[in-house]
């Protein structure tokens, strides 16, 4: 059961940090990236099964499923917070939540990898742009999300910490997904350069971005509930 208490309209405490759930998620993000890096570079000894389960470059593994779970949590939290937004702003929250839901599904089902293989079979190459085909969809998604974020922040519906966290979360997520890959193409001539360090930077950045987005949703939800005179224990 979720524990709640009334605050009698008391103003939000300005010095509150992230919920313990978010801090635990950050620790897991960093641990997964470091474990992968240690196993990939041979700095850690481990069974073959551990290397497979933590192989960030293979997609079907623990880090990918954790990233998918984070993005799904962020989508659900944003939907809950969005239901408490002013009526005219709810549609933006719904669209952002749908975008997060798609990103979660993409991590779990490897949608864009399958699409990339289909596009490659059709003979389309984007090497002249300095981008892989994968990075092209990231750029398009980032543009769409950026427009939605600009609208919702400019309207004043999102303020303070939640607005900053949403912008930072999407920035880190798309920067890791597209930016690191773009650098790999520019520096090494191939996405991520085949280097464990590059892969850890990309996938680790996506994990951190997912956690930031979940935190943003929790902050937004906490503010909406507090404005209605309610505190939720797991948001403390």
SS3 call for 3: coil
pLDDT band at 28 (very low <50, low <70, confident <90, very high): very high
Which ranges of 57-89 does DSSP label H, i.e. alpha helix?
62-82
Residue 103 has pLDDT above 80, yes or no: yes
pTM value > 0.85: no
Q: Are 75 and 37 in contact (CB under 8 A)?
A: no
Q: Are 209 and 173 in contact (CB under 8 A)?
A: yes
Residue 81 has pLDDT above 60, yes or no: yes
Identify the residue with better confidence: 125 or 84.
84
Identify the residue with better confidence: 8 or 111.
111
Nearest Cα residue to 77 out of 218, 210, 226: 218
């Amino acid at each position: 059961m979720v524990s709640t208490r009334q605050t009698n309209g008391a103003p939000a405490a300005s010095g509150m940090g992230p919920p313990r759930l978010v801090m635990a998620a950050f620790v897991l993000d960093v641990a997964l990236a470091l474990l992968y890096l240690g196993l990939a570079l041979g700095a850690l000894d481990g069974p073959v099964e551990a290397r497979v389960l933590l192989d960030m470059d293979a997609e079907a593994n623990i880090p990918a499923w954790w990233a998918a779970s984070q993005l799904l949590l962020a989508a659900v939290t944003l939907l809950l917070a969005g239901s408490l937004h002013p009526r005219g702003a709810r549609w933006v929250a719904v669209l952002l939540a749908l975008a997060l839901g798609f990103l979660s599904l993409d991590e779990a089902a490897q949608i864009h990898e399958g699409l990339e293989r289909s596009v490659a079979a059709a003979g389309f190459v984007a090497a002249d742009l300095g981008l892989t085909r994968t990075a092209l969809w990231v750029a398009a998604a980032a543009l769409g999300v950026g427009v939605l974020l600009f609208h919702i922040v400019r309207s004043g519906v999102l303020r303070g910490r939640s607005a900053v966290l949403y912008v930072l979360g999407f920035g880190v997520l798309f920067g890791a997904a597209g930016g690191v890959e773009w650098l790999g193409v520019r520096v090494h001539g191939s996405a991520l350069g085949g280097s464990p360090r590059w892969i850890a930077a990309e996938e680790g950045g996506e994990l951190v971005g997912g956690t930031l987005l979940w935190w943003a949703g929790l902050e937004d939800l906490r503010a909406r509930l507090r404005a209605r005179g309610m505190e939720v224990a797991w948001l403390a």
